[in-house]
Structure 1
Amino acid sequence: MLKMLIFVDAIVALDPCEVAGLEQKMHILLCVHGALSAALSQLRFSSPSRLPSAQVARIQREIASLLSAKDDEATQAISGTMSQIWGCLMESMDASIRIQKIQTPHGSSDVHNVTRAATDHFGYLWDNYSSVTPIVFQAACRGYAAEVGDTKHPLASLTIQMMPCLEEKLDRWSKSFPDQGLRFLFMMNNYCYILQQLHDHNTHARNLLHLYFAQLSRKIKSHELRYPEVSWAPVLSCLRYRGSSPLPKFERTFCKTYNAQKLWKVPDPELRERLRKAITKKIVSGYTNYIKDNGVTTLKFSPQELQEMLRELFEG
């Protein structure tokens, strides 16, 4: 047994510097913790047919004490590794912000790679809910980690504490985008990804994080409403131009906006469809009303052509 427990010390002592290595370490530690907990449970709740001798009882106490100490080490190591992973992810987010400001100064609508990694991390924790929950609780009680607000659902409490840190960094990064429409699209894409990965793929998360998911949904809806106003209302406002004919100005502005945003991407099909409908309703209906009200007969684009073009938005 002593030779076996050396393995625990070796795993605890590992100190990888990359997220992938830390995640592998945590996976192994969870397996080790499970084995130690199972051994302790069998030792403590075994019911021998006869009372053990004093010597056997002493040996059992010593074994239980040793296993308990190693179990505590594994718990502390898992908690520490979880903190390391999150710290590395947030540091990489700060670094990527500095790099992307140089490489892609105009920004991108894609889901950020740190959003993917952070959501995958919490997805893994929720996929191992029964193993991770008592560890998070024990770590908080023993002072290895920050206190959890909800002791009944410590993993939910930890998620609600950590994910807003990611949201704040995403929001700060998006504010550097010159185009505010792209900023709203970026935030919607990232929030949708978090919802899909945590809400749709895990029953425990869906049941215990419903308030957090409702909050995310409200943020998505808020950006969804503001996006057409920021990006497409200026296009429609060209029809109120008081020059000789506002149509050329409308056509130029529409083409410029359309050509830029056609290359933007919205991965979620439902969000993509809602945005297209909102833009189409705003632009095509306003354009059609202008044509009817002013008796315009010669057009560069028919309302149907505009509608077909808008159906091509957000494919990337």
Structure 2
Amino acid sequence: MAGRLAPVPELSAAGYTAASPPLSVYRESIRSVAVSGGRITPSLFSQSGNGGYGHSGNSGSGASGSGSTSGSSYPSNNSGSSSGSSVAAAADYGAQELTKIARRMVSDGYTQRMVSAFENGGGSDRALEAWFSELDVDWVLQIPGAEGGGSWRQLRLQDSVKRWIRAFIIIVASIKEVAATAVHDHETTAVALFGKGSIAKMLVFIDAIAPAAASSKEENLRAVLDMYICVSSASDMFSPEAQAKFKGLSKKIFMDVGGSLPREVKRLNKAVYSTVLEVRAFVEDDESWAVEIPRGRGDVHRNTWLMVNCIKSMQDKARYHDTQYLRGLIDDSVLHLKELLLRKSELCSDQSLRYLFLLNNSYLVAMMVEAWSLLVEPWSKHEWRPAPECLKYMNRYLDVSWGHVQSHMPKTAFVHGSGRLQMLFCMLAPLQNWKRTASHAKFESAFHKTYQAQRFWKVPNPQLRDELRKTITERVVPGYRSYLRKHPELERGGSSSPDVLEEMLGELFEG
């Protein structure tokens, strides 16, 4: 029945006498409303500055994604708009726009005619076909007897959830609008029965999505999160306070609806939790860690991207419908990811690469899901203040990688005391010169060995990359430059001049 409205009788006896609107006039408007946000991608991370979030408007393909080792292989989603209005619409699932459409449906008399059809049809599914068709969810009525099939399974999971959310919001908004304008008890009761029947059919989809085949675990989590927030919000709308103005049978019916929604919220709570556990198990058991950390040259691992996107999805929902349950799950997931990264980093035999991997991955976590830990104040946005955990891994990397290079830096001897001691120093000067030459050679050798080994290691975030280069340069070059000034005989002006070393360090970590 897609595209056409079933003929429905007027409900003139109840006062519903508005003219019928054109066929399918609302469905295209409903479809055009954006209902969910996007995902973070490696490209957005590598282009970011002081730790802002990356968003895009539409859901990506949902492939389970690889992120770091090969940035282009991670499923990207750069098709969305970053405008404020688009983000706001996605944040509240387009509720404002959908509510306007619902009010227009009531103003046109369309919803009242659907109530009439449902009442005169004895509450049958057939009476809901036109209603659900206009709401773009006629496939929901196929679910109970579909036995795992049905046309709805031809839709991508996220697409079906988006359609479901749009329809659910309009159903709730329409029922409240019509019930508020009803004059007689008979009208209110008819609306209550229609609302209860519509919502009951919609809630069947919650059971159906559990075994639904999503193209990725991240997509499945976003789907159950979206439904969780949507049903939770509707549950608030049917609170005892909201039902106070109703009485008699209509109040009882609305109380039944209000009582059923919290149960669905608990079921969706469990679905969210079980999906998060599935993601954790998948990441934990992935055998690619030991291979891809060295292959990725310390880059952000694809599993880190997967976990960050899942945590960010929960944070986005909690921002607009905060619950203690969701906050607790977010905090636990962040802690689990940090511990996981530390454990998986032990698979890397090269300690320098291990700490660079921990630095890159921890910085992503801090920037994307713990922005507060970067401590960047508005007045000091150009001052880089890494999270303590990131600073710890950076210092360990510097000590392991460049500490031994610094240790070969020759020390200048300063002789104080009697003339006899100075005479002894002069006698030992040839030996000291030989030691200086040997130490200088060791320093050059250690520097070039470290540089060649790490030349193509990767730090994807430009700010972190610049800071790391700067810190290495400050540790190595000034002391070397000062030493050569005191011993010009060692400076050959060749490949190991301080300026050349500084230029070489500026080429590190491009991957």
Fold in common (TM above 0.5): yes
CA distance in 2 between partners of 1:102 and 1:269 (Å): 25
CA distance in 2 between partners of 1:175 and 1:249 (Å): 30
Equivalent position amino acid for 2:457 in 1 = W
Within the candidate set 335, 339, 346, 1:175 is matched to 346
Cα pair 1:238 1:249 within 8 Å, conserved: yes
What does the per-residue CA deviation read over 1:24-66, in whole Å, with 9 as the maximum and x for residues that have no partner? 2331342233234324467424x36xxx4xxxx2442243123
Cα pair 2:457 2:510 within 8 Å, conserved: yes
Match of 1:5 in 2: 200
The Cα shift of 1:198 comes to 2.6
Residues 93 and 37 of structure 1: is their aligned pair in 2 closer, same or farther, counting only changes over 3 Å? Answer: same
The Cα shift of 1:279 comes to 0.8
Instruction: Give the secondary-structure state (helix, strand or coil) at the position aligned to 2:288.
Output: helix
Moved more, 60-69 or 100-109: 100-109
Residues 266 and 130 of structure 1: is their aligned pair in 2 closer, same or farther, counting only changes over 3 Å? Answer: closer
What does the per-residue CA deviation read over 1:229-283, in whole Å, with 9 as the maximum and x for residues that have no partner? 1101112333459596234433333222112222112222332222112211121
**Superposition pairs for residues 107-146 of structure 1, below 5 Å?**
108-129=297-318, 131-134=320-323, 136-137=324-325
Residues 4 and 75 of structure 1: is their aligned pair in 2 closer, same or farther, counting only changes over 3 Å? Answer: closer
Residues 130 and 310 of structure 1: is their aligned pair in 2 closer, same or farther, counting only changes over 3 Å? Answer: closer
**Superposition pairs for residues 137-216 of structure 1, below 5 Å?**
137=325, 155=327, 157-200=328-371
Structure with bigger helix share is 1
Larger radius of gyration between Structure 1 and Structure 2: 2
Cα pair 1:264 1:314 within 8 Å, conserved: yes
Residues 163 and 273 of structure 1: is their aligned pair in 2 closer, same or farther, counting only changes over 3 Å? Answer: same
Within the candidate set 6, 10, 14, 2:209 is matched to 14
Cα pair 1:106 1:178 within 8 Å, conserved: no
Match of 1:313 in 2: 508
Cα pair 1:43 1:60 within 8 Å, conserved: no
Within the candidate set 273, 278, 281, 1:91 is matched to 281
**Superposition pairs for residues 46-85 of structure 1, below 5 Å?**
47=245, 52=247, 57-69=248-260, 71-85=261-275
Aligned residues: 275
Within the candidate set 257, 272, 291, 2:465 is matched to 272
Cα pair 1:12 1:73 within 8 Å, conserved: no
TM-score normalized by the length of structure 1: 0.75
CA distance in 1 between partners of 2:500 and 2:262 (Å): 67
What does the per-residue CA deviation read over 1:65-118, in whole Å, with 9 as the maximum and x for residues that have no partner? 23322x12321122112212321221122223x223245556641122232222
Residues 165 and 301 of structure 1: is their aligned pair in 2 closer, same or farther, counting only changes over 3 Å? Answer: same
Q: Identity of aligned pairs, percent?
A: 25
Which residues of structure 2 form unaligned runs of 5+? Answer: 1-195, 377-385, 411-433
Which residues of structure 1 form unaligned runs of 5+? Answer: 138-153, 207-215
Residues 220 and 184 of structure 1: is their aligned pair in 2 closer, same or farther, counting only changes over 3 Å? Answer: same
CA distance in 2 between partners of 1:186 and 1:83 (Å): 28
The Cα shift of 1:131 comes to 4.9
Match of 1:212 in 2: none
RMSD over aligned Cα atoms: 2.9
Residues 13 and 77 of structure 1: is their aligned pair in 2 closer, same or farther, counting only changes over 3 Å? Answer: farther
What does the per-residue CA deviation read over 1:114-133, in whole Å, with 9 as the maximum and x for residues that have no partner? 32222222322222235542
The Cα shift of 1:308 comes to 0.8
